[in-house]
Structure 1
Amino acid sequence: MAVSVAIESPLQDEVKGLVEALDAHLLPLAPAQFHFGLNIEEMTGSDTTVFVARNDASQAIGLGALKDVGPDAGLRTGEVKRMFTAPAVRGQRVGSALLAAICDCARALGIERLVLETGVGEGLAAAIRLYQNHGFTECGAVLDYPDSGYSRFFEKKLSA
C-alpha cells in the first residue's frame, strides 16, 4: 500500500473522524483529567501543523500534529500530538510515515527538540515502539504536564 502524507486542515470530516476514533481509543486508558489531546479547534491554531496520511484511494488513514511550543529547556521545542493510525492499516508503517513527516517539518521550522506525552499500558505499546524506533528516548515530565503515573514522556533532539 502506498501512503502519502500531507499537511491538511483538521476541519475535514475524515480528519474529524480520525480524531474521534483516537479519543475513543484513549478514553478507557486513563481518567479524563489525564487526557491531553488537542481538540479540532485547537488543531487549527497557527502554532499547530496537522499531517494526514492517505492511501491509494485518497482515504484518510492516519493523523499526526506538530505544535510549536517555542523555547523550553533552552531549546526551541515542538510537541508531537494526536498520533493515530486507523486500525485496519496498523503495522503497515503509516505511523512511521507520519512521524517522519513531523520530524522533517520540525527541522525545517528550526525546532531543535521534539517532545511528546503518551499514556501507559498495553494499549499504547505499538505507539511507544514507534517513537523509540524514530530515536525518541524516555525522559521526565515535559512542558506543563503533571507526572501522574498515567503518562510517559519522550524527547528527541533534532539536527539541522
Structure 2
Amino acid sequence: MIINAESPNQPEVLAMLERLDAYCASLYPAESNHLMDLASLMQGDVLFLVARDIDGAAVGCGALVNRGGYGEIKRMYVDEQRRGLGTGRQLVEQIVLFASMAGLRELKLETGIRQGEAIRLYERCGFARCEPFGGYAPDPLSVFMERRL
C-alpha cells in the first residue's frame, strides 16, 4: 500500500467520501455529523491523504487540518473490504508523522459513539478521550480524543 497527499477532488476519492457520508447518516442525526465538505478539504490548511493498494485503487483516506495550536483528524475512511488489514492504522501513522513535521504538538479528533472500530483504532494509536474542543459542543453521540506528539 502507498499513502500520498492527493486532491480529494477525484472520482475514486469522492466515491469514498460519499460512502462515508452515507455511513455516518445511517448512524447519527444530521446535527451530530461534523463532516468537512469538499471545498473545505481543498483549503491550504488541510493535508488530504489517500491510501492506494498495489493496483492503484483508492482504499482509504484521511485529512489533517492545521488548527493553529493543534491538528485535527477529519474524514477518515477505509473501504469495507480493507478493514482489519492495517490501512486505518497506517493512515493514522502518516497523519501523526505529517503533524509532527509541521511542528504540531497535539492531534485531536471527533468520532461517534457507534463507531467502535474507529474508537479502538485511535486508542491503539495512542489517543485518549478528552473534552470537546474547538467549535464542538458537547454531544452525547460524540467521542472526542487527543494525542500529544
Q: Indicate the TM-score class for this superposition, using the shorter chain for normalisation.
A: over 0.9
Among 88, 92, 95, which residue is 1:99 paired with?
A: 92
Which runs of 5 or more residues in structure 1 are unaligned?
71-75
Listed one character per residue, the Cα deviations across residues 61-81 of structure 1 (whole Å, up to 9, x for unaligned) are: 0010000011xxxxx200000
Listed one character per residue, the Cα deviations across residues 24-71 of structure 1 (whole Å, up to 9, x for unaligned) are: 11102111011111111110000100000000100000010000011x
Matched residue count: 149
TM-score (norm 2): 0.98
CA-based RMSD: 0.7
Which runs of 5 or more residues in structure 2 are unaligned?
none
Match of 2:3 in 1: 5
| Misfit runs of 4+, over 3 Å | none
Among 43, 52, 71, which residue is 1:45 paired with?
A: 43
Between the aligned partners of 1:116 and 1:142, the Cα distance in structure 2 is 9
SS at match of 1:142: coil
TM-score (norm 1): 0.91
Among 109, 131, 135, which residue is 2:126 paired with?
A: 135
Between the aligned partners of 1:78 and 1:118, the Cα distance in structure 2 is 15
Between the aligned partners of 1:99 and 1:130, the Cα distance in structure 2 is 9
Deviation at 1:136, TM superposition (A): 0.3
Give the share of equivalent positions with the same residue, in percent: 36
Deviation at 1:90, TM superposition (A): 0.6
Between the aligned partners of 1:39 and 1:87, the Cα distance in structure 2 is 22
Match of 1:151 in 2: 142
